[in-house]
């Protein structure tokens, strides 16, 4: 016979109401009580009747995560963390990829599976704040990334301007003066903010803003990074450092340097953004910006659940902390070992 909610409550030594509160992820439950109930659920292999829960609470048990590119290491890692967090809550996460296309993002705002989801986590690159604010989908929404956020919409992100500025300041501290960037894309908030951080760091150091050192990126992938780096190396006066707006661009840039016989970081320092596994294990290991993705996922779900409970609550903007991971691609082997030790 399948375990009942009453059985779970008896095994945990709590009331049926308390056991129900834990299952439905109500916030006002003591951690020790929650742990006992979760242990009882696991021991008894209790599975809630999802159809009954949907009828009672008006919930479908599904959340949607909409990303530009699921195969990008940063986004795939984030999707994995959110999937795990949802599983712990007894919720299923649905994934949707827009390909960073405006038409696909607008379809999301028109009501992506709104009849079967309880909430939406959306990382847009193309749509404007006005379009987001005028969306027809009434599902609870949390925005991710550096998109313009309209009033009344919850948002979780990283201060990309400050992070990019800190990275360029690090490159300046290593003695670099011709610092190029790869990843300019004026239509996306992420690229615009990271370019602004580059500008601020150079201006504060009294250095000119040389647009000949800025390379665009239609795609944030290795091939684009390699092609852009090859173009920079062909300049009459090549850069002595390159800040790439994600790790994949940086890995491509390093490959271009290696293929051209350019020493990294002896002749050109290379830095990225996102702290992916590929960056940690490339040769040389990549200096990068690392955001707390675990916290980002937790805060995203906290805001989404809170919005589900109270549609009228004030919107929140949460900035997730970041740090510079300084490695051999900017420091060299000896300095990187000293910094790590």
User: Is residue 64 domain-resident?
Assistant: yes
The whole-number pLDDT of residue 235 equals 97
Q: What is the DSSP letter of 85?
A: H
Task: Tell me whether residue 45 is in a domain.
Answer: no
Cα–Cα nearest to 247, from 192, 195, 286: 286
Does 277 share its domain with 139? no
Each residue's pLDDT tens digit, 143-175: 998 878 889 999 999 999 999 999 999 999 999
Q: What CATH number corresponds to the domain at position 146?
A: 3.40.50.2300
* Pair 175, 128 in one domain: no
**Poorest-pLDDT segment among 100-114, 117-131, 316-330:** 100-114
Indicate whether 235 and 103 sit together in one domain: no
Task: Tell me the range of 17-21, 57-61, 75-79, 310-314 where mean pLDDT is highest.
Answer: 75-79
Q: How many domains does the chain have?
A: 2
Domain extent at residue 311: 57-158+292-321
CA–CA distance, 228 with 187 (Å, rounded to integer): 19
- Alpha carbon distance 16, 188 (integer Å): 49
How far are the Cα atoms of 67, 144, 217, 244, 245 from residue 105, in angstroms, in the given order?
9, 13, 20, 25, 22
Q: What is the pLDDT of residues 211-254, one digit of tens each?
A: 999 999 988 999 999 999 999 999 999 999 999 999 999 999 99
pLDDT tens readout for residues 289-310: 999 999 999 999 999 989 988 8
């Amino acid at each position: 016979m399948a375990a009942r909610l009453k059985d779970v409550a008896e095994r945990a030594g709590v009331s049926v109401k308390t056991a129900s509160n834990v299952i439905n992820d109500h916030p006002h439950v003591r951690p020790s009580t929650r742990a006992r109930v979760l242990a009882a659920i696991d021991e008894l292999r209790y599975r809630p009747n999802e159809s009954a829960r949907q009828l009672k609470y008006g919930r479908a048990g599904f959340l949607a995560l909409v990303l530009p590119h699921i195969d990008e290491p940063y986004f795939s890692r984030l999707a994995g963390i959110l999937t795990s967090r949802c599983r712990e809550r007894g919720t299923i996460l649905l994934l949707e990829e827009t390909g960073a296309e405006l038409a696909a993002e607008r379809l999301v705002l028109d009501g992506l599976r709104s009849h079967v989801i309880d909430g939406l986590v959306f990382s847009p690159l193309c749509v404007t704040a006005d379009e987001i604010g005028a969306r027809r989908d009434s599902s609870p929404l949390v925005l991710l990334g550096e998109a313009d956020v309209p009033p009344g919409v919850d948002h979780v992100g990283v201060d990309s301007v400050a992070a990019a500025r800190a990275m360029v300041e690090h490159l300046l501290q290593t003695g670099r003066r011709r610092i190029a960037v790869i990843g300019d894309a004026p239509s996306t908030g992420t690229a615009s903010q990271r370019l602004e951080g580059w500008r601020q760091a150079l201006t504060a150091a009294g250095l000119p803003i040389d647009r000949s050192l800025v390379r665009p990126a239609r795609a944030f992938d290795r091939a684009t990074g390699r092609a852009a780096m090859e173009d920079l190396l062909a300049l009459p006066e090549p850069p002595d450092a390159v800040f790439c707006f994600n790790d994949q661009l940086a890995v491509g840039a390093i490959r271009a340097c290696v293929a051209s016989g350019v020493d990294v970081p002896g002749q050109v320092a290379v830095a990225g953004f996102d702290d992916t596994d590929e960056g940690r294990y490339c040769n040389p290991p990549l200096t990068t910006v690392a955001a707390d993705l675990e916290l980002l996922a937790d805060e995203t779900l906290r805001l989404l659940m809170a919005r589900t409970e109270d549609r009228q609550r004030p919107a929140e903007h949460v900035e997730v902390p970041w740090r510079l991971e300084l490695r051999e691609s900017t420091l060299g082997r000896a300095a990187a070992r000293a910094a790590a030790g």
